[in-house]
Chain A
């Protein structure tokens, strides 16, 4: 079955760029029916959708984060990545990647999820 695994630095300094990669295994990242997404969860708080990307490069972003986000996909290596610029302490969270069942910007559900990566923004 499809499995996802996040990787990247666990500590980022304020004003710098947070970069995470998600590696997909057990299935093809180039499946037309699915997008690949990022969701974050600040410590002790709820879930916030960040954005989705299709293997063709089509992206959909959370409007509240759109100016700071960039998603990219590397189909050859079955990976997709998140870059979040100008981070502050408010961006401290566990970042999850997930497979997304969607039809364009109609987002249906997220399954499965990666185990999550805690990223702390601190000097």
Chain B
């Protein structure tokens, strides 16, 4: 099972919005609504930011939103803040595999 495809890096200025894409196949993102997103600061454990494509866990700011279209899921961060600078990973249920992560995207806040 191949990893989901994410851009290696994205950047934005404080206050702006950025979107991180995560592309899979009909066997993972395209087939199920079990996409999750994780934020990882350097040297720290990943933190769940979005579950089930677009659900925000308690405590996650509403600046973070998730969506899906076809084989691509997206994480949008609006009103960028310095603390948003981190690595972001998407994850999807993948049927018989049964779970696969993306390669990660480094977000830089300029």
* Contact surface of A with B, Cβ cutoff 8 Å: 39, 46-49, 60, 62-63, 96, 101, 105-116
Give every chain B residue within 8 A of A39 (Cβ-Cβ). Answer: 46
Interface CB pairs A-B, < 8 A, 7: A63-B1, A101-B51, A106-B98, A109-B51, A109-B91, A112-B48, A113-B47
State the Cβ distance, B100 to closest chain A Cβ, in Å: 8
Question: Does B52 reach chain A (CB closer than 8 Å)?
Answer: yes
Q: Are B101 and A63 in contact (CB under 8 A)?
A: no
* Contact surface of B with A, Cβ cutoff 8 Å: 1, 3, 34, 36, 38, 44-48, 51-52, 57, 89, 91, 93, 97-104
Q: A46-B3, A47-B101, A96-B45 are in contact. Are A108 and B52 (CB under 8 A)?
A: yes
How far is B46's CA from A98's CA once the two chains are assembled, in angstroms?
10
* Secondary structure type dominating chain A contacts: strand
How far is B103's CA from A48's CA once the two chains are assembled, in angstroms?
10
Q: Are A111 and B45 in contact (CB under 8 A)?
A: no
Name the one of A46, A60, A106, A109 contacting B104, with C-beta atoms under 8 angstroms.
A46
Q: Which chain A residue lies CB-closest to B100?
A: A49
State the Cβ distance, B9 to closest chain A Cβ, in Å: 14
Name the one of A46, A60, A101, A116 contacting B89, with C-beta atoms under 8 angstroms.
A46
Give every chain A residue within 8 A of B101 (Cβ-Cβ). Answer: 46-49
How far is B46's CA from A105's CA once the two chains are assembled, in angstroms?
22
How far is B44's CA from A113's CA once the two chains are assembled, in angstroms?
10
Q: Are A107 and B102 in contact (CB under 8 A)?
A: no
Give every chain B residue within 8 A of A109 (Cβ-Cβ). Answer: 34, 36, 48, 51-52, 91
How far is B2's CA from A98's CA once the two chains are assembled, in angstroms?
22
Give every chain A residue within 8 A of B91 (Cβ-Cβ). Answer: 47, 109-110
Q: Which chain B residue lies CB-closest to A111?
A: B48
State the Cβ distance, A105 to closest chain B Cβ, in Å: 5
How far is B103's CA from A47's CA once the two chains are assembled, in angstroms?
7
Give every chain A residue within 8 A of B100 (Cβ-Cβ). Answer: 49
State the Cβ distance, B56 to closest chain A Cβ, in Å: 12
